Chains A and B, each alone.
Chain A
Amino acid sequence: MSSKRRPFLRALLRLLTALLFLLPLLWMLAASLHPPGEPLPTTLRLLPQHPTLANYGRIFRLLPLGRYTLNSLLVVALAVPITLVVSSWAGLGMARLSKPAQRRWITLSLAVLMVPGIALWSMRFLLYRELGWYDTVWALIAPAWMGTSPFYVLMFYRAFRRIPGAIFDAAQLEGAGVLQTWRLVALPMARTTAVGVGLLTFVFYWGDFTSPLLYLRSGRHATLPVALQTLQQLSRSDWALMLAAAVWTTLVPVVLFLLLQPIFNRRPKGERP
């Protein structure tokens, strides 16, 4: 009997866990549908009595949200490809080194990962000012030039190390250069990793709040997280309005994730998620 009940209990527990994790997002979405001007309910209900999308129109009238959205899109459009090239090059370079050299690069990468972000704030501020990057989009995407995070380099390294050396030898015999081998041989074999790193990079730059806070002065290049902060200061108690903006900011990465999610689950043998 218990063997029959257990799968059911487990399925129920799984469903409840999933709902628990979605709950904050559902609450955020529900509150954003609250009609403007109406008093907030003081009894528990998920959806407002007359749900409306009016708040989404209001945020666009109150703030140049279209502009902010385009700025955010520009940031990821620059940062994601640069990150993918730099980190996959580094991962491949690392995977093709001798074993002791690989160890040294891993240690270096882990050491860089340990440096707290705050330790770099003031010096990067001064560096960007010297380079003329202060208050430009380049200050927001600067980390892309180092592959954004050594973590991504290590992800690519793990993926490329799985490719047998004979394949690289064969590519060399065919006359393929280093860059050709990267593009035509290595990268296609690490597609899942590339999509994963791309998604993580997208999420990182899309949600980055500190870089615009520290390295932008004018609103010209402000991204969506800045808009949320502005809105929070402008209309402290207009919850439906603020949460509509929060939902708008969350929408793009969530849709992207749900679209790409099947790729991670189609797991070829031997490749890790």
Chain B
Amino acid sequence: MPERLSRLRLSRQDRWGLLLLPYALGIFVLVIVPAVFSFGLAFFHYDALSPPVWAGTLNFVLAYTDELFLLSVRHSLALILLPVPLRLFGAFFVARLLQRNGRFLNWFRAAVYLPTIVPGAAFALAWLWILNPLYGPLNLLLRALGFAPPAWLIDPTWARPALALMALWQIGEGFIVCLAALYDMPPDLEDAARIDGANGRATLRHIILPLLAPILLLLTFRDVILTFQETFTQIYLTTQGGPYYATYTMPLFIYEQGFDLQAFGVASAAMWVMYAITGLIVVALVVIARQWHIGTTEETFVL
């Protein structure tokens, strides 16, 4: 293949660029075109059997007047508020704890990462068992400690906190990213601060957190987006949106509209709303970050 390429008299630079071709084609066919079409479908009636029919903004009206839709928006937002900050702090502090020196450090790190590797469906089953109100080990433990534990996934008020709890165990990626960022920090920096008389908390607040802020911001973006979409498997396999719709979120609504009811147009309209909300949250985060003078995503990768 290299011989043939040189016969085409491509410059060296262009030949390096050719390596990007499969990737470019892939994201065009598998992401960009589907995304464009899927957002366009919001303005059509489409059931995957007969050709699409123009519907104007009817799908948005249909979604907006669907009580379940508004419910799903509220629950999706509620599901971001609790787990995302908890996951971020968890990943950061565990990374700090396992930052350097010590015996078995590699094995401790592996232990923290291990739950992230568990397949989503197996993870969901494990937690269905752990959170089982009668036989589940968590409630047996809590009862042994003298608490009166809730029914978790079966109780409408505790179902969302239970999902947030589950999500706390799969923070491996954030943990690795924080660890890498701490690893990149000059090691003398902390020592210098200590010599200058800064205590642990001051070092954390004035040296480590500002240095890590761009990475933490990037992780927040990622987690917000992931919590919006990746929670589908967990919810689908644990509560199916119940009890009494307490965990009914936007991905579930979109899945039901598209794949159960073949109302692809309404599903697309809901997607527009979901994307708009994600965008608003990201913009809000960027505005906050700017006020704190934190650089954002792109530089983190270019650096």
Any A CB within 8 A of the CB of B151: no
B119 lies within 8 A of A110 (CB) = no
Q: How far in angstroms is the closest Cβ of chain B from A70?
A: 16
B135 lies within 8 A of A41 (CB) = yes
Any A CB within 8 A of the CB of B245: no
The dominant DSSP class at the B interface is: helix
In the complex the two chains form, what is the Cα distance from A96 to B41 in whole Å?
39
Any B CB within 8 A of the CB of A246: yes
Tell me whether A273 and B183 are in contact in the complex, defined as CB-CB below 8 angstroms, given that A17-B108, A207-B121, A257-B110 are known contacts. yes
Q: How far in angstroms is the closest Cβ of chain B from A153?
A: 6
Tell me whether A93 and B229 are in contact in the complex, defined as CB-CB below 8 angstroms, given that A42-B135, A258-B110 are known contacts. no
B230 lies within 8 A of A117 (CB) = yes
Q: Which residue in A43, A116, A178, A180 is a CB contact (below 8 Å) of B271?
A: A116
How many residues of A are counted as interface, with CB atoms below 8 angstroms from the partner's CB atoms?
101
Max chain B Cβ within 10 angstroms of own Cβ: one of A42, A43, A85, A114: A114
A249 lies within 8 A of B126 (CB) = no
Q: Interface readout for A57-98 with B: 1 if CB under 8 Å, 0 if not?
A: 000000000000000000000000000011101101110111
In the complex the two chains form, what is the Cα distance from A19 to B267 in whole Å?
42
- Give the B-binding residues of A (Cβ under 8 A): 7, 10-11, 13-15, 17-19, 21-22, 24-25, 27-28, 30-31, 40-44, 85-87, 89-90, 92-94, 96-98, 102-103, 105-108, 110, 112-127, 142-143, 145-147, 150, 153-154, 157-158, 172, 177-180, 182, 203, 206-207, 209-210, 213-214, 224-225, 228-229, 232, 239, 242-243, 245-247, 249-250, 253-254, 257-258, 261-262, 265, 272-273
- Give the A-binding residues of B (Cβ under 8 A): 1-3, 5-6, 12-13, 15-20, 22-27, 29-35, 37-39, 41, 48, 94, 97-98, 102-123, 125-130, 132, 134-135, 137, 140-141, 143-144, 169, 176, 179-180, 183-184, 222, 225, 228-230, 232-233, 236-237, 250-251, 254-255, 258-259, 264, 267-268, 271, 274-275, 278, 297-298, 301-302
